């Protein structure tokens, strides 16, 4: 080594075995948060199955075990891609924010190269699963990737990032419909469900982002809480969830669903009301409960109601 030459330090990652590494990868992409979107995606698949079998959409076969597997693989691949991309492009923001500085990339638990590899692999898995689900799903897959990754960049210039996140999650029901029916015929039904999912997700993401209100305002990041204040953000979230309730009512009527779906929709609305009750402008201490616990129950309750309504009672 020449005199005065310096060695660039290698990127460090915390040591660990295979299981530890898998746990870190799962934490990086918040695999547990799959509970939010996947049940609604499968609920749309149930409606698509009914439409295929009773209305002859697509091949008339409807959902099969193989299609179900590919739908789950596609959803998981898409979601992993979106979360991985988000963590990669936000790594410097996360490092500077005390609340997020312990995330895997800023903390060095996972290297940037490994995160890029995981995200790229997930994108390929998603495209491969889309190809297995048919030509329409494959043709739409690049657009889906643009949407689900694009939302991560919106906070840099627009408070509408929450809405883009909602749209990204709402692509799940649309994808399930296309996967089961093979096309876009009868798309009004999943379209209404997309509205319900998009406004539900955007609404609870607004609540979640209240944790970073002060930091975002300080560094110039955009969000609904920064744009409208804490109280205004809670009102904005509530209005979004009113649209969620209206969309569920519209789906009930449009799809001709029965009493089980009514019970499920009422349960969703009741949980949303409770969520807004426990998070108040002068008390944000229960945001985590509102974000994960309550919204997890919403997705599970709704899927159970749809399954009972369409597959059992019908």
In a domain, 6, yes or no: no
Q: How confident is the model at residue 25 (pLDDT cuts 50, 70, 90)?
A: confident
Question: Residue 3 has what pLDDT?
Answer: 39
Question: Residue 293 has what pLDDT?
Answer: 78
Question: Residue 7 has what pLDDT?
Answer: 40
Question: Residue 45 has what pLDDT?
Answer: 97
What is the domain extent for residue 155?
Answer: 34-313
- Indicate the range of 116-130, 131-145, 274-288 predicted with least confidence: 274-288
Whether the predicted pLDDT of 230 surpasses 70: yes
Query: Looking at the 3D structure of the chain, how many domains does it have?
Result: 1
Question: Residue 51 has what pLDDT?
Answer: 94
Whether the predicted pLDDT of 8 surpasses 90: no
In a domain, 17, yes or no: no
Question: Residue 61 has what pLDDT?
Answer: 85
Mean pLDDT (the chain) is: 91
In a domain, 277, yes or no: yes
Backbone angles phi, psi at 9, to 5 degrees: -60, 140
Task: Return the number of other C-beta atoms located less than 10 Å from residue 66's C-beta.
Answer: 10
283 DSSP β-pair partners: 280
Q: How confident is the model at residue 314 (pLDDT cuts 50, 70, 90)?
A: confident
CB 244 within 8 A of CB 273: no
In a domain, 238, yes or no: yes
Whether the predicted pLDDT of 198 surpasses 50: yes
In a domain, 285, yes or no: yes
Whether the predicted pLDDT of 220 surpasses 70: yes
Task: Return the number of other C-beta atoms located less than 10 Å from residue 115's C-beta.
Answer: 20
In a domain, 281, yes or no: yes
pLDDT in tens, 51-108: 999 888 888 789 999 999 999 999 999 999 999 999 999 999 999 999 999 999 999 9
Three-state secondary structure call for residue 165: helix
Question: Residue 11 has what pLDDT?
Answer: 44
Once rounded to an integer, what is the mean pLDDT over residues 289-297?
79
Q: Write out the two tokens for 295.
A: 């919204």
Question: Residue 15 has what pLDDT?
Answer: 54
Q: State CA 81 to chain mean position distance.
A: 11
In this structure, the chain runs to a length of 314
Three-state secondary structure call for residue 280: strand
In a domain, 23, yes or no: no
Query: Residue 176 is part of a domain; what is its CATH number?
Result: 1.10.357.140
* pTM listed for this prediction: 0.90
Question: Which residues neighbour 180 within 8 Å (Cβ) at sequence distance 6 or greater?
Answer: 45, 48, 49, 52, 58, 62, 63, 67, 71
CA distance 19 to 25: 10
**Exposed e or buried b per residue across 30-45, where buried means at least 16 C-beta atoms within 10 angstroms of its C-beta:** bbeebbbbbbbbbbbb
CB 288 within 8 A of CB 226: no
Q: Write out the two tokens for 56.
A: 């002859």
Question: Residue 22 has what pLDDT?
Answer: 86
In a domain, 216, yes or no: yes
CB 91 within 8 A of CB 43: no
Question: Residue 264 has what pLDDT?
Answer: 96
Question: Residue 14 has what pLDDT?
Answer: 52
């Amino acid at each position: 080594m020449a005199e005065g030459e310096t060695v660039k330090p290698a990127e460090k990652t915390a040591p660990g075995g295979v299981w530890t590494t898998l746990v870190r990868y799962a934490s990086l992409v918040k695999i547990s948060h799959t509970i939010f979107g996947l049940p609604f995606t499968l609920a749309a698949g149930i409606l698509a199955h009914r439409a295929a079998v009773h209305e002859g959409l697509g091949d008339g076969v409807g959902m099969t075990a193989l299609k179900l597997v590919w739908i789950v693989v596609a959803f998981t691949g898409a979601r992993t891609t979106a979360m991985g991309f988000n963590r990669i492009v936000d790594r410097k923001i996360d490092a500077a924010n005390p609340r997020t500085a312990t995330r895997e990339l800023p903390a060095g638990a996972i290297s940037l190269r490994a995160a890029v590899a995981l995200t790229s692999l997930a994108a390929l898995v998603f495209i491969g699963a889309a190809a297995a689900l048919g030509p329409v799903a494959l043709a739409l897959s690049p657009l889906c990737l643009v949407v689900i990754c694009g939302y991560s960049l919106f906070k840099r210039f627009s408070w509408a990032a929450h809405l883009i996140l909602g749209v990204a999650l709402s692509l799940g029901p649309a994808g399930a419909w296309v996967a089961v029916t093979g096309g876009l015929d009868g798309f009004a039904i999943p379209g209404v469900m997309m509205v319900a999912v998009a406004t539900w997700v955007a609404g609870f993401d607004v609540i979640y982002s209240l944790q970073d209100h002060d930091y975002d305002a300080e560094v110039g990041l955009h969000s609904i809480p920064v744009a409208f204040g804490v109280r205004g953000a809670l009102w904005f979230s509530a209005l979004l969830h009113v649209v969620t309730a209206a969309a569920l009512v519209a789906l009930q009527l449009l799809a001709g669903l029965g009493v089980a779906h009514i019970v499920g929709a009422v349960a969703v609305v009741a949980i949303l009301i409770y969520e807004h009750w426990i998070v108040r402008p002068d008390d944000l201490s229960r945001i985590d409960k509102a974000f994960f616990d309550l919204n997890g129950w919403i997705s599970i309750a709704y899927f159970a109601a749809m399954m009972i309504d369409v597959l059992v009672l019908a």
